[in-house]
Chain A
């Protein structure tokens, strides 16, 4: 065995060791703390930020827009139009989080005195946070928010340049963000919004959308209610109507209430477009879990005891069979990190150590190995017996 000669060969290990030690010897002793790549990551994803309500203003007879700025006066993170913010509300001492699509545009967050906005409609008696935002939240209130989450945004490498938004009700908000960004010249896509509402009073952001209409942004209002003086489109967002406004290769982006999703899945099928051209925003927390296939109706009135392990600490809390584990934890004032509340993002990933549970089939975004080892996303999992779970310490 010879590379360059015996002596040189056998001296190799000593030679490289000396080289290494001398490199250290010659190095500077001054600490280098810079982590510019980490800094960019932190600028995009700073985690939960303390926000202040700067303004609240009506955008329809039934909805309000809330504007937030950072409490520390720093710049808000970049995000993609269509993404959401997860906000933590303190309602009578109970911390409850909710995701809201940002209705403001990314450029508005990054400009001087930047801000983000959400637009929330008054509930029809079924959304206590929606009511809280509409009735109780006030200018100057502080709350925590995680800005720029979710996968519902235009991806130029994947999507058709022409996007048709199929929006229902408050589902208009991510498209309002896109429309603003397009009109501002910083999002290179064409957007046609088919916006379904019950009545013209229900249309959210109507004037704002009208002001954004241009070559690249079109808005078509569609009313399903009986409104005699309405001259625009009527009915639901049917396949026929979608086809009428479709021009060439189009990606369909869908955001709206759960009933609309069920309807539109059927309509989209009729259009015969490739799967990659259809994108649904997450489903949201199931309105009534007992209506989903496989839910054991005989357990719907049960209240179980869930033992919650955090580190070496344990609590026992009550949990209704019809409410997700996240809701049970929030009611018991135990902090858990959540964001999408649709089983997708996995922020509330939880280990089930014992007990039975039901996972909402619309919202089962778990990894295969997680399923094998009894992990659930607590926002989409419902107790069916007494349980023991382990969650991160917040």
Chain B
């Protein structure tokens, strides 16, 4: 029995947001694309599940780079250009911050946000707005330069703020604004989504994150992130992409430095000119390339020279009362006993208790999120993989429950309500859960850490030198734009663009 064509232009390994973005863009240019996804539905962690008849979001807190209808940002616009129309709902606030001496809800809009910070820390309006505007300028430059690279002198002329802040950490740039600690703390909570301490986090990353989230607000899909994944998959199939679920790719086949196909666990050998891989370069270069002798030493040094970033630990609950009755008042709340990000970063290398938590109550962004009389409430921390790597299968359940219990207790204390008296459904997602459903290397959903040694500006500068096998591209959080569902789409587009550029270059060379 034959299930595949003799040849495809491109095989995409992994049908999550990055891979599906690649597939959409390639199919849009008329290429013959096969997507192989190991799970039985698209999306990776951009998905949902059903417990006790209630659909529950698996991972998404809020999505950046979407923008309002009629004025979509990068990711929102790409999806619509591809014919993917998601029913986006605007998240009503930026976040509620509960930090030492701070209890405030902040809203998106650079000026609104600066005003709200000023209300808490009087006299800071101008400085905070100036910092946010700087973030916005850097954000605009990153967006433009990622599409239209230019010479260094030209960059300095046109993207001065971007160039001049590129060599500094978030702490170094923030220091020049001379803000009181409390104002700095109020600007820091989204930090958890990028996860290096401010002393090691490139300012460029902080700027992009702040400008996107604070400047434009964030969005969630009406029917959970499965709506995004499924609509992308459906659209891709309508455009002629073949998507096969439950196909686990074990090997990427290479000959004379060039990719020619893949082999699945089922034993199918499928041929293509290009392969786009969602599996981490760590996995690809250590166990997927066949023969392994095709992997150059430089590729191994590169993956060994990078540090894996964050994974996720979430306690997701359906509670048996409406949020208001339990004292839950906000869509998202960041809570911690310190906002010293360098301290917190160390904390994330362990196995709890975690001192900095993110809670989401989807009902405030999506009134249909749960049945009447109930609400959804999740508590998340984004630990580094280091601590979890030490947990054995026999310890796993006890560790998972200990960490989850601590998180529920912390939030119960905060609300003055024992949340455990209201749990209709509970799901504890761990790094192992991520590994189980997605096969992600060490359960790491956040790619490589953004650090001063692995800076996004450096990544952009040297990307062309990091291709070790012809025809092999990568799409996932491990790529230039990094982690998060929005960046996943951008990473997928970039992989597709690399394929399209290569095809074009080969055609031009052939014409000569």
Contacts and interface: CB of A to CB of B under 8 A. Distances in A.
A155 B295 CA distance: 46
Given A36-B442, A373-B234, A394-B246, A31 B286 contact: yes
A16 B163 CA distance: 12
Interface string A26-64: 111111110111111111110000000000000000000
B164 A12 contact: yes
B408 A157 contact: yes
B2 A312 contact: yes
A79 B28 CA distance: 45
Contact of B223 (A12, A44, A369, A394): A369
Interface string A364-394: 0111111011000000000000000000111
Interface in A322-350: 337, 344, 346-347, 349
Interface in A1-28: 1-4, 8-13, 15-17, 19-21, 23-28
Contacts, number: 236
Interface stretch (B18-26, B188-196, B298-306): B298-306
Interface residues of B, number: 100
Contacts of A216: none
Interface in B417-442: 420, 422-426, 428, 431-433, 435-436, 439-442
B242 A347 contact: no
Interface string A90-129: 0000000000000000000010000000000000000000
Contacts of A110: 394
A337 B246 contact: yes
A308 B420 CA distance: 46
B227 interface: yes
Nearest to B51: A151
A234 to B, nearest CB: 33
A311 interface: yes
A35 B461 contact: no
B48 A310 contact: no
Interface in B389-406: 389-394, 396-397, 401, 404-405
Contact of B286 (A33, A43, A344, A370): A33
Contacts of A367: 48-50, 55, 223-224, 226
Contacts of A20: 453-455, 458-459, 462
A370 B227 CA distance: 8
B320 A276 contact: yes
A392 B37 CA distance: 10
B391 A40 contact: yes
Given A13-B167, A41-B433, A274-B320, A337 B443 contact: no
B457 A23 contact: no
A8 B423 contact: no
A274 B393 CA distance: 34
A25 B301 contact: yes
A3 B392 contact: no
Contacts of A368: 55, 223-224, 226-227
Interface string B289-321: 000000101101111111000010000000010
B78 interface: no
A37 B389 contact: yes
Interface string B103-132: 000000000000000000000000000000
Given A24-B301, A337-B40, A367-B224, A40 B452 contact: no
Contact of B246 (A24, A28, A392): A392
Contacts of B246: 337, 392-394
Nearest to A77: B393
Nearest to B47: A367
B282 interface: yes
Contact of A313 (B2, B55, B224): B2
B396 A349 contact: no
Nearest to B202: A16
A275 interface: yes
Contacts of A313: 1-3
A32 B304 contact: yes
A78 interface: yes
B33 to A, nearest CB: 14
B325 to A, nearest CB: 14
A30 B287 CA distance: 13
A210 to B, nearest CB: 29
A40 B53 contact: no
Contact of B40 (A4, A40, A349): A349
Interface in B435-484: 435-436, 439-444, 452-455, 457-459, 461-462
Contact of B231 (A11, A24, A346, A369): A369
Contacts of B425: 158
B393 A43 contact: yes
B266 interface: yes
Given A78-B394, A275-B424, A37 B442 contact: yes
A177 to B, nearest CB: 15
Contacts of B441: 35, 38
B140 interface: no
A31 B300 contact: yes
A19 B444 CA distance: 24
A8 to B, nearest CB: 7
B71 interface: no
A329 to B, nearest CB: 14
Interface in B147-166: 152, 156, 160-161, 163-166
B431 A19 contact: no
A310 B268 CA distance: 13
A47 to B, nearest CB: 10
Contacts of B244: 311, 392-393
B277 interface: no
A12 B173 CA distance: 12
Contact of A16 (B166, B176, B422, B439): B166
B368 to A, nearest CB: 9
B447 to A, nearest CB: 15
Q: Which of B40, B268, B440 has the most CB of A within 10 A?
A: B40
B168 interface: yes
B13 interface: no
B172 interface: yes
A44 B431 CA distance: 13
Contacts of B440: 38
Interface in A349-366: 349, 365-366
Given A158-B420, A367-B55, A40 B165 contact: no
A29 B452 contact: no
B302 A27 contact: yes
A381 to B, nearest CB: 15
A369 B286 contact: no
A373 B301 CA distance: 45
A293 interface: no
Nearest to A33: B286
A156 interface: yes
B414 interface: no
A25 B55 CA distance: 48
A40 to B, nearest CB: 5
Contacts of A158: 420, 423, 425-426
Given A27-B301, A313-B2, A9 B48 contact: no
Given A393-B246, A394-B246, 10 more contacts: A13-B152, A13-B167, A13-B457, A28-B304, A31-B295, A39-B393, A40-B392, A157-B401, A365-B53, A368-B227
* 7 closest Cβ pairs, A-B complex: A12-B167, A311-B3, A27-B305, A16-B455, A392-B246, A9-B164, A41-B435
Interface of A: 1-4, 8-13, 15-17, 19-21, 23-33, 35-45, 77-78, 110, 151, 155-158, 274-276, 310-313, 337, 344, 346-347, 349, 365-370, 372-373, 392-394
17 contacts: A9-B165, A23-B454, A24-B298, A28-B300, A28-B301, A29-B297, A29-B304, A31-B287, A35-B442, A40-B393, A45-B436, A151-B52, A158-B420, A276-B424, A310-B3, A392-B244, A393-B247
